[in-house]
Amino acid sequence: MGRIVLIDGYNVIGSQGRFRKDREVLARERESLVRTLSEYKSQLDPETEIQLVFDGFPSEREPFRHSGLGFSVIFSEEEGSADAVLIRLSERYGSRAIVVTSDREVILRVQGTGARVVGAREFMDRVGTRRATPVPKAVSFSEKPVEDDDNDGSRTTRKKGNPRRLSKKERARRKTLLNL
């Protein structure tokens, strides 16, 4: 069984600073996001499933019909908001789900279901990077340790361990990004 990536569509559009209430502009941004994700999906493991979730109903004036995308587009319709759909789907898929959103309330609720979360801006950076060039597996950070001027035999404030090792939270975040 592969991973399931659940994406809050309008949240991703808004994270790029392109969210407008004008219907025509919003429709163009949805289309652009769908094209971008279609290209991205073609580079992923075939078992990885993408579900793009938008708020509201698809309009009859601007029908939203796509076939052969390799992923599904869901409108929240009767459930009220894309947030509710994302939470429901993350409960269904549990630890297999990776939810893409920057909404703090959704993040907290989704993490409680065992799903992992990636920020919308971070996800789009990853999509852009994946489309352009391969992503390096590891990043090296070099920091010089702080020298202690006190040599009077008192305790030092230096931490033990590898100073270049990333925090547990940062390692988990990067692992999630590598799965995308």
**Which tens digits make up the pLDDT trace of 108-147?**
999 999 999 999 899 988 887 655 544 444 444 344 444 5
Q: Does residue 132 sit in helix, strand or coil?
A: helix
Q: Quote the mean pLDDT of the chain.
A: 78
Give the pLDDT score at 143. Answer: 45
Name the architecture of domain 4-136+167-178: 3-Layer(aba) Sandwich (3.40)
Q: Which residue blocks in the chain are alpha helix, DSSP H?
A: 9-15, 23-41, 82-93, 104-111, 120-132, 168-178
Contact status, residue 159 vs residue 77, Cβ threshold 8 Å:
no
Q: What is the pLDDT of residues 66-122, one digit of tens each?
A: 555 678 888 887 777 889 999 999 999 999 999 999 989 999 999 999 999 999 899
